[in-house]
Amino acid sequence: VDPKKGIVWIPPMHESVSRMFAAAFRSAGFESQAIPTENEEDLLLGKRSTRGCECLPMTLTIGGMLKKAAQENHGTRHILFMPTAEGPCRFGQYNLLERKVFWNEGHENIEILAPSSVNSYQGIEDKTRRAIVHGIYAGDILMKMTTKVRPYEMTPGDTDELFEKSLRKLEDGLEKGTDLRDILPGIVDDFVRVPRRHEKRPLVGIVGEIYVRCNRFANGEVIRVIERNGGEAWLSPIHEWVSYTMHLQDYMSKQQGFSLFGTGESLMKNLYFLQTEKSYYKLVDRLLADRHEPHMKEVLDEGKKYLPMDFSGEAILTVGRTILFARQGARMVVNAAPFGCMPGTITSSLFLELKDQLNMPIVSQFYDGDLDINDKVSAILKTIVQNEEDGRDIAEEDDDRADTPANG
């Protein structure tokens, strides 16, 4: 596939990161756009073209691409960006079935760009890969600032408006080759200036399958559900997967005896990206000092207590990150996965034991396009909020008694 001879389409895996992905491709001379967040029409279109046993992300990405192809001129060449991954997950097979679906639907003009996680996606040329990773860090951080501020905003809509304005600024900067670290400090200033209520909401971590946890249609707007019910969401970022593939590449090179030269070259590239992540978070400490992601080694050290490293994929990340969320003060964790997801089934079973050990509710949600599935999240969070309010009331009454002089 020559990506410069067609439109590179990025699936809407994340509100901001997908658009940053497209901007990164444009910065390298490609024509690229992010597919808009799917809706029920895309879901039905994807279901019509599949067998019904595929997981939700695959159905959605097929539906979204088919709709986009139908909207464009028939002679346009389309290239769907659909990476592959190792491990017990159907994600690694998406691109194979998608090729068959597009061909069966008469879309010979749709091709697939499928770099692999085996070498942490180093199949993409270095310049483009660097731009993508910078876009991922900036997009993830923008989302963190949004979820840190929006639950407390005095005027509804202020944060969403700032999110869109800031995202356009970052997209434009990335496309023009500007270092996004020169743009971020001004965006942080804008978020800090949003008028907010001074209150403390229970923190809710979101883990699980990367597409479903980050795609707001797929997860029934779970972040908004958390915010409407009195919580503050902390979404595990896209760059968690980037860090994991780099760490896994290092691990596998030691296990399988890759060539010293090839391994050393890859590790030097990966080290650059890990240092880049630190530089981004340092810039936003004014707002996100308590929202840094734990080091990948910490996540995997916790996950390895329940799953082996060789069992690659998101399950070990979901378990390890949940444990660390509990240590970081989360009052609840939502484990989001597509219906029928093998890693999701494994982690939901492990969480039956872990939730008692952590003394924290862990809600495993399996999504299949039903937008009203988050009732359990709402109910448990309302109970947590009410219990915390009751606790504060009791504490305030105790303080009042202590300040009242004794009678007689």
**Tell me: the pLDDT tens digits for 82-119?**
876 555 556 666 777 788 888 888 888 888 887 754 44
* Six-digit token string for 28: 């390298």
Q: Report pLDDT for 86.
A: 58
What pLDDT was estimated at residue 260?
42
- Residue 159 is predicted with a pLDDT of 98
- Give the pLDDT confidence score for residue 242 in this predicted structure: 84
- Provide CB contacts within 8 A for 187, sequence distance 6+: 142, 145, 166, 169, 170
Provide the pLDDT for residue 70. 87
Backbone φ, ψ for residue 18 (5° rounding): -60, -40
**Residue 240: left if φ>0, alpha if ψ -120 to 50, beta else—which one?**
alpha
Of the candidates 106, 112, 48, which has an alpha carbon nearest to the alpha carbon of residue 82? 112
- The set of residues, in sequence order, having a beta carbon less than 8 Å from that of 358 and lying 6+ positions away, is 322, 323, 326
Q: Which residue has the tokens 């599935």?
A: 373
Helix, strand or coil for residue 105? coil
Q: What pTM did the predictor assign?
A: 0.89
Q: What is the pLDDT of residue 100?
A: 85
Dist CA 151 CA 229 (whole Å): 10
Question: Contact at 8 Å (CB) between 117 and 110?
Answer: no
3-class DSSP state of 218: coil
3-state DSSP call for residue 34? strand
Task: Tell me the pairing of strands 7-10 and 78-81.
Answer: parallel
DSSP string, 118-165: GGTTTTS-HHHHHHHHHHHHHHHHHHHHHHHHGGGBSSTTHHHHHHHH
Which segments of the chain have a pLDDT < 70? 1-4, 73-74, 84-93, 116-124, 252-272, 392-408
* Res 405: pLDDT: 41
Chain-centre distance for alpha carbon 266? 24
Backbone φ and ψ of 367, nearest 5° = -100, 140
Region of 209 (left: φ > 0; alpha: ψ -120 to 50; beta: rest) is beta
Closest CA to 49 of 37, 28, 24, 67: 67
pLDDT of residue 269: 56
Tell me what pLDDT residue 92 has.
Answer: 61
